[in-house]
Structure 1
Amino acid sequence: MTAVAESVDRVLYVGRDREYYTDLTSVLERTLSGFAVTLASDRDQAVEFLSRESIDCVVTETTVAGGWRSFVEALRNRTPEVPVLLAVDGDEDCAAAAIRAGVDAVVDRRENPTERLAVGVKRGIERYHRLVEERAETDWYESLLDGIGDFAVVVGPDSAVKYVSPSIERVTGYTPADVEAMGPFGYVHPDDQPDVIEAFYETMTEPAGATAKVEIRAQQADGTWRIHEGVGVNHLGEDPLDGLVITVRDITDPARPKSRLDEHLDRVTDAFFALDDDLRFTYVNETAAALLSADEGSLVGEPFGVVFDESADAAAFETNFRRAVASERTVEFEADFPPTGISTAVRAYPSETGLSVYLRDVTEQKARERERELTERRFRAVFEGALDAMVILDDEARYVDANEAACELYGLDRSALLGRSVDEFVPPSVDVDALWQQVVAGERARGTIPVVRPDGTRRTAEYVATPNVQPGRHLSVMRDITERERRERELERYESLVETVSDGVFTVDADGYLTFVNEALVDLTGYRRDELVGEHVSLLVDESTFERGRELDERLRDGDLTEGIIEARVQRADGERIQTETRFALLPADAGVGERVGVVRDVSEQRRRKEQLEALNRLNSVIREINRMLAQTGSREELETLVCERLTESDTYALAWVGDVDRSAGTVSPRAWAGSDEVTADLVAELAERQSDGDAPGAVMEATSSRSVQVVSDLRTVDAPWSALAVAHGYRTAIAIPFVYDGVEYGVLSVYSRQTDAFDEEHREIIAQLRDVVGHALNAIEREATLLSDRVVEFKLRSRRIAAPFGELATARNRTTIAGASRPAATPPSST
């Protein structure tokens, strides 16, 4: 830490929040000149700095190492008037404790930006400088009124009593309030009043500094009369007195028998002793003897200096005593009494025989006065420098004092606000009387109240009203929450919006930990809200997805993107993985350092539909391609192979094969097939062979029997040898499509897929077209072959009677021979 020049205002920041310290310094550089801010990270470092340097203002955090209360206490013991501002984070209890501990102002860092704190620093420094400048004047004023004569009275230009020193009660029995009520000369003998009034009021017409001296008969509160000497000095127009200052001392002649005088003096409770003109003791009462640590009789005749050492205060006693003797005027002063070190108030009255000296121990009184003064200054500093509005009201709810923040809240300067009533600033709908009667009755009240400014604008304020901080005076502390309410309403609207949208919404910090999730994201993931907030996003996505997010995040921060988009699978609490699309962007800097907000949408159905449409398009393409190539295909084998190959070129279908069915023998013979790399002829042959195994016929046999398309949506649910073989090779669905034309079957197409939805209704309708399209093509190929050969005769049998003999011609080789011509047998037609 480096000391700065004396002309520079010094601010000490105590805490560990370097970012807030840097912001404060930056704001002060923009708004003030001639200052320096020093950072101390903990209590010990701050105290060590204060032992070497003087400061003008302190800002401390509540989290300061070593404890902020301990630091404030140490600071107050060292420099009780230096303004202290405490930065809190919304803790009202801490704020109240801070004021009690001696903090001048409390700043809520959540609601007050550093600009407001800078204003508090500026006000605190200005107030501190004013206190230093006023101290000399205040001390002089108080010493003037409390240190002259037996008591003092200040009379204003309007003849009203402005001030009466409390010592009047000891001298006359009257209280200051009695004198204020009876007037400055009410206790003067009626015969003396005209001369006194004339002398003093004539002095008030003369230039400042003019004096008048009178002797009067003064009636005491107990009815007795004493002789008083009054000296009036004209201080009209001079701050802070502005009046005639009259100092009064009792000069009643004490000459009477020694014994009576002794009795009287012994009744004096203050320490009292008498000195002759050479300042030798002529009388010492018991209290004074105890104070001087000597016997009463042993001091009589001794010089006054015998009880003092060579201290400076001893010289002050002798100097003032000799001044009283020389001037023949009462001298009052305060000094530390060297033998004991206590503080004393001394009054020395000159007389014909020397001095009568009263000593009163005012050590505790001075301590109380210093503490009271410090407390008053401290609370005045809090009042004037508080960032919250503070007002003092009387019993009628009229403003009698207000700080600068209150003037800002009400939109008026102090002079325009004072004297007005609370009900002038609230709408008629608010029952101000009921609220105020609660305060006047002595109850502390808090709540929220609307404030209507004279220009018609409205503010909302939180208030805490404390009754009778002084008799008949009530304090209200208000905080303008207009902007906070507006932000809260906006936040509520946004929260309502976020919670009602169907998409999942989340925020995540710079390290990838979730800081907020809405209800839709809870439903999407299956986790509870408290299970998500605070967890890392890796709970939901894999490492590769997280890394892609980091890359997009860097591009967002560099300004290359305004929005990041990621498609990924999210793992739910039940283990299911769903396809999602996430869009995210950076939050504004004031919302959270490095935070991002994202919107997650379940696109599983969308993706499924997209894939389905793509599959349908591919299937349509296959069908169209098959239609185009039918005219170019010259044989049945080529056509069937073409169909299988085109179907399995799609990712949707893993295997396709065409077989002939011999219903009488219950067998299926593969004719053509195509599929993925792992498909073999042996697998196709085994699938065909197992179609007739088991208790229930396979899909191919069913399709042959019904001449209709047969779909198995889940092969795992079918208890048959053929389906078990298909499942073992990873197939999940299958379809069997008979090739039929004009009632004649030309084989069955079997297609297998690893996808569970490969043969939904839309797929089924499209692929089922192959039944007639391929059946017609196969019929055309066979018909063309017949026309080109005169040995081939085609006929159809529809008679029940003759169907059986011809049917028996089918041999084990499944061929029919007529007139030496032969062809592979078609599926025997059903008899009608």
Structure 2
Amino acid sequence: MSDGADDRVDRESVVSSGPTRIRVLHVDDEPSLGETAALWLEKTSEHLSVVTETSAPEALDRLAEEPIDCIVSDYDMPGMNGLEFLEAVRESDPDLPFILFTGKGSEEIASEAISAGVTDYLQKEVGTDQYTVLANRIERAVGEQRTADALEESERVLSTLMSNLPGMVYRCRNEPDWPMEFVSDGSLDISGYSKEALTAGAITYAEDVIHPDDRQEVWDAVQAAIEEGVPYKLEYRIETKQGDIRWVWEQGRAVDTADDGTAVLEGVVTDITEQKEREGQLRQAKQRYRRVVEQDLFGIYIIRNGVIEYINPKAASIFGYTPEELTDGMTAFDIVAEADHDRLRENIRRREQGDVGQLQYELTGVRKDGSRFDFEVHSGVIEYEGEPALLGALVDITDRKERERELEQYETMIETVGDGVYVADEDLEFVTVNDAMTDLTGYDRDRLVGSSATLVLSDADVEHALAVRDELRTTDRDVGSLDINLQTADGESRPCEVRFRILTDDDGTYRGTAGVVRDITERRQYERELERQNERLDEFASVVSHDLRGPLTVARERTELLHETGEDLHYRKARSAFDRMDDLIEDVLELARQGRVVEETEPVAIESVAREVWSTIRTGESTLSVSTDASVVADRNRLYSLFENLLRNAVEHGSTSPDSQARQDAVEHGATGSENSESSGDGVTVTVGLTTGSRPSTPDGAKADPAGFYVADDGPGIPPDERDRVFEASYSTTEEGTGFGLDIVETIADAHGWSVSVSESDGGGARFTVSGVDIVAPDETDG
């Protein structure tokens, strides 16, 4: 049986072997199906004329009454099925093309059909494309049968011609005796010896037929021609069985090589005395072959030295010329695009140098009106009027090339789409996928195609997809969409959006879906982040509305009292309320800024940042100790802000001296000073270092353990029942504090993907630990 690729044949070259119309008998017990098939077949091909019958017996009656070129039959029919019908047809016409066109397909039926002598077997499908395939199969089957009939007739003519030639055709081994493997009947007329006598070896052509005086000269001439790779043409004398001396003309050449390396010769020997009779017979044979060649089977040409010596009407019509125009001095280069001249010139050169193999190649032709088209060439070498020439057949493949280009463009578009593209049948099995789909799932194309969608979907997603599909099939909507979690080959669950269409054939029968699958991982992350930039906004709004209400009320009341009394105390209290509102607003803005996800990071030395921050805040009698020279991979500005809030918190809440409130007031308002030298008193000692078990990465490139750093003090610490609340916005243990400092610390940590916690330090104070940090060895930092 042929496959789909074989159906792409040039229609003109197939159906042109006989009448322009092909009469088709279509047999199907469903009248509507038969009529529909007839209409589509005649619409698909102008060469087809279709008549229909609804049963095999009726079809046999019609077959007996009128000529039919091809039968197309269903298999499953009452009374007499398709195979029984085929057997009945074969009894009367063994060669009539018979195509089994059935909706009931199986290997068993196909095997039985082949055994019964079916020409072709095609299973019914949904859609009108099947009629294009069926039309091609019909035209090809009829064309091949007509070609076979023509070849049989040609062989009969050739056999008759060989029998009538006044000469002897032979095949022999190139040995001194020239032992004959085949001799035609003409040997009796030429030599008086029968072909059986010559092939049996009792009589040798060299010793018993060739005249003794000419034997060496004939041998030498044949050997020289074989060595040069050219045909030999000889005239010499022979002695007949009756003792007569005759002159003969022989032409032959080496055509093969035996297993032992001996050349095999084929040739013809004719009696020169009957030359005129022989020439008449050759002219007759030439005319017969010309009639065969000039039928519209194929485009045929003969080219010698680049000049068109002969071209049949079929080939001439392809180029838009008459045969007379093309053979009036035109060359092959006149009808081939200039871009293909080098290829054409190379092929002609190869032929002229004795390359006798078959060549098949494509060229761009130029018609008489200047338009261009694609054609395919099959060529070989012949001897034409005593010189080597190219004999070839050509086929117009413009339509085929255009279809190939369109398919290539379609495939290119599908493959360049960044999203996964698929086609699935009604059973949810993948029929087609693009490269992006394989990248998305992690499965290669061979694994996906033919597999069920359940390979990449959970049971819940399959149920959801079927529900959306079924809903779409009952509505007028063109496109359905759903979100799924694609299950990849490596076990990942990847969020994706699927947009798909329902596929149907012409009668509306559901045939599957075609869709686009888009990875929405980043979109989901963005949505989660947006939901979190929203939660923060709600939190900010709540904090601002709550915390600003108190100082705003104080400011309003003190302003009214100041207006009434003019006392300076009310001015100071109002000013303090305004300052607190300013601090609240600044901290809220800082919190909003620090909440953005960190995108660019670099190694930043912990000690450098900690000491730089320490130098900018009012530290009083407190001291700083940094026990590491490692670096942390972070956004430098945000890391600075994190240390600024942690160190201020340690100084403000860790000191127990009477003036700590004054220092706290200064810190809350961003005051700076130089009291940052290491000293003693009732200030606190603040320690910065790596968490226990942290291992910095080494210069050889080994990655660091996800570790962290800490900021600890030896102050009063934070009670255990308060530790869960210290990171809440607006939480503060003093009236003057805004309560945003530690909330900012946690926000900065979250933006880096870190976590922050609070515990008791070794000195009994507070210890804030930042975890999940990439620690870098000193050699890798920028200092």
Q: TM exceeds 0.5?
A: no
User: Per the shorter chain, which TM-score range?
Assistant: 0.3 to 0.5
With the length of structure 2 as denominator, give the TM-score of the two structures. Answer: 0.39
Structure possessing the higher relative contact order (Cα contacts under 8 Å, 6 or more residues apart): 2
With the length of structure 1 as denominator, give the TM-score of the two structures. Answer: 0.37
